[in-house]
A = this chain, B = another copy of it.
Amino acid sequence: MLQSASLRSRRLAIGAALLLAATGCASGRAPSSGGTAAGPPAAAPAPVVAPAPIPTPTAAAPLKEFGTMWTFDAPPLEYWKARYGFAPDQAWLDHVRMASVRIPGCSASIVSAGGLVMTNHHCARKCTAEVSPPDTNYVERGFAARSLSDEKRCPDMWADQLQSIEDVTARVRGAVAATAPQAQVEQRDAEIERIQRECASSMGLNCQVVSFYQGGMYSLYRYKRFDDIRLVMAPEVSIAFFGGDPDNFTYPRYDLDLTLLRIYENGRPLQAKDYLKWSARGAQENDVVFVTGNPGSTGRLLTVSQLEYLRDVQYPAQLAGYARQLAVLRELASRSPEAARQFQNDIFSLANSEKAVTGYLAGLRDSTIMARKRAFEADFRRRVAADPQLRARFGGAWDAIAAAERELTSLARQARYHGFAGGSQLLTYAAQLVRIPVESAKPDSLRLPAYRGPALDAMRGALTADAPVDAEREKLLLATQLRAAQKELPPDDPFLQAALGGRSPEVAAERLVSETKLGSAAARRALLDGGAAAVTASSDPLIALARAVDPLNRQIAARVARLNDVISANAELVGQAIFAVYGKTLPPDATFTLRISDGVVKGYPMNGTIAPYKTTFYGLYARSAAFDDKGAFDIPPRWETRRDRLDMTTPYNFVSTNDIIGGNSGSPVIDREAQVVGLIFDGNIESLPNRFIFTDEVARAVSVHSRGVIEALRKMYDAGRIADELEGKRASAL
């Protein structure tokens, strides 16, 4: 499933994308990790392959490796027409756009005249838990409202419906008059803020300026927000996420990763003009299908040196960090069944990130993929160099990025260890408490990025909240972090010296965690309220450690921030250059805004044989039985007792070549008639490298099949009311 692509890289990457889009600084840079160990220094980049000439993309054949996440204001109609013999008209596009909604961190769609909304189970899990009565847990047990009055309002859920898109690039650019980079950024951000404010007040809409092509283009996205959203139906998590962590990001799959919500307006079900009708036939092999949704973040415009940094520095360190944290959590979980339950979610979340990053890294280590990236970049730079104007504006961007990446590489280890990344909550508290007085005294724009505006408020909130700290876990995490630091840093490193004081990592961690008072919210609040003076006076050993490291740490963090600014600014130039050279024929990187991707329902070669385009309910029971119904392969009781009601050959999940990524969770899959044939919930393992270069030989999007949804609603959940509404057999929701 896209779960973690969504749950995790969504939380991080989409957050980052939104933030960066808002500031106009979307660098496409993958979010920095909690990993703490550096890999080897970046290898010198291999010489650029003498490239075969790359064809300039045309409407009929865009450069495939940039994928198919098209914006609704630039659909590749001629290409679709040439490829599929199908070019939707504007009414089709408008209808589909209006039927697609964005919900927190995910995608969704309106699928009945009465405002039913279809999304993934994992996209509404918070709501499903929150509306559960005290005596039962709908996440575990499932839920299907028997009537409208039984539908449960979700406390924090909203749905944004995209009303219009307007190109505001000229206005944003026109507002930038300064020459100093810092001032330029401020002028641009102020103008973006102004545009958003004006839009919101004049139209009563939720407005957002989105940066595309790493700043090559700015568009104003206007949304209507619905905020009365109610839970209609959610299956048991064990069937929604059947196969659990092992099967996550893979196919063949057997998940009913579905939740149905309903939009209410003025206390009544939405009377939807634009909704997606349900296909009785559902997805079949070789069908052309479209996916609408909000992909969160891709890195397809990243330069080769940026990819090499990810490959050689960031991802290896991230993976080493995950491995260390997982070792600690698994050790703790093995101590008792209770501990196993307690750490289950954290372990899943980390294992999931580990799997995703392993997949990304495999892509970057694939010599074919990198050779194609190099060939494209060489061609692109040649085209820029051939035009004196382009050369003057953009020609230096790649080398500037490469130089910054090289310096980042040289700083990476110190930045990681001195930044206290690595999973110890107490160490993070200490670093923040020491730094907040200093940073908050500066004007916002001069602070380190993590200490600006709302981020600082959130940090203060977390510091003063009453969250229990698990001392045993802290000791193990701190010890593993110190052991790694000992291996990677020189013995005279000030962090190492201050942290160890001549002790072994285990003894030092034991002492620091036992003696610190930072586990108490009151103690943290006192330090926060006491400001610089309190921090200076504190004898807490972790505060002392943070104080000792901070001066050096601050220098490095400032330098890293500066280098990231250089990379962002030059990435923006690269984005403008892409736009100048190739126009809108290349879809921009994902930005958690609405896209439409074309694809085909299709099996693929896998492990020496063929993966079928679909699975069936038989497959669900087969996979469960192969593992003796154990662990992640246990089927919920309802699915055992009602098994014989099912038509076992009903299509259940299927794959297609659509271009999706975290944030697309909950996207509808529709046919040419804009009818729902499926529900996206994951990509296969082979699709992970699509983050950087799109391929569709074996990469696939994974969906729940529309026929599987109806079969499950009717046979398992006695939810004929809902199935009828989806199938249009009832006039309305009432």
Interface residues of A (CB under 8 A from B): 243, 246-247, 249-250, 252, 355, 359, 606-610, 612, 614-616, 618-619, 621-623, 625-627, 648-649, 684-686
Contact = CB atoms under 8 A, between A and B. Distances in A.
Contacts of A355: 608
A602 to B, nearest CB: 13
A125 to B, nearest CB: 22
Contacts of A685: 607-609
Given A247-B609, A250-B608, A622 B615 contact: yes
A626 B619 contact: yes
A517 to B, nearest CB: 44
Contacts of A247: 609
A688 to B, nearest CB: 9
A325 B684 CA distance: 34
A439 B619 CA distance: 61
Contact of A250 (B609, B614, B623): B609
Nearest to A616: B625
14 contacts: A250-B608, A606-B607, A607-B607, A607-B684, A607-B685, A607-B686, A612-B627, A614-B626, A616-B626, A618-B622, A618-B626, A619-B619, A621-B648, A622-B623
A626 B250 contact: no
A614 B355 CA distance: 24
A59 B625 CA distance: 39
A249 B619 contact: no
Contact of A243 (B246, B609, B684): B609
Contacts of A608: 249-250, 355, 359, 684-685
Contacts of A614: 626
Contacts of A250: 607-609
A626 B252 contact: yes
Contacts of A606: 607
Contacts of A648: 621, 625
Contact of A616 (B610, B612, B622): B622
A653 to B, nearest CB: 10
Given A246-B610, A608-B684, A612-B627, 16 more contacts: A243-B609, A607-B607, A607-B686, A609-B685, A615-B622, A615-B626, A618-B618, A618-B621, A618-B622, A618-B626, A619-B622, A619-B625, A619-B626, A621-B622, A622-B623, A625-B648
**A-B CB proximity, top 8 nearest:** A608-B685, A612-B626, A618-B622, A619-B622, A622-B622, A250-B608, A616-B625, A625-B649
Nearest to A643: B648
A600 to B, nearest CB: 18
A330 to B, nearest CB: 17
Contacts of A626: 252, 612, 614-616, 618-619
A642 to B, nearest CB: 16
A246 B246 CA distance: 25
Contacts of A618: 618, 621-622, 625-626
A154 B649 CA distance: 40
Nearest to A610: B246
A625 to B, nearest CB: 4
A485 B97 CA distance: 57
A626 B614 CA distance: 6
A307 B249 CA distance: 37
A222 to B, nearest CB: 40
Most chain B beta-carbon contacts within 10 A, residue among A249, A625, A686:
A625
A120 B249 CA distance: 36
A359 B607 CA distance: 11
A648 B619 CA distance: 12
Nearest to A615: B626
A249 B607 CA distance: 10
Contacts of A684: 607-608
Count chain B CB atoms within 10 A of each CB in A247, A615, A622, A649 and give the residue with the most.
Answer: A622
A614 B608 CA distance: 18
- Among A250, A609, A618, A684, find the residue whose CB has the most chain B CB atoms closer than 10 A: A609
A314 B608 CA distance: 22
Contacts of A359: 608
A623 B359 CA distance: 27
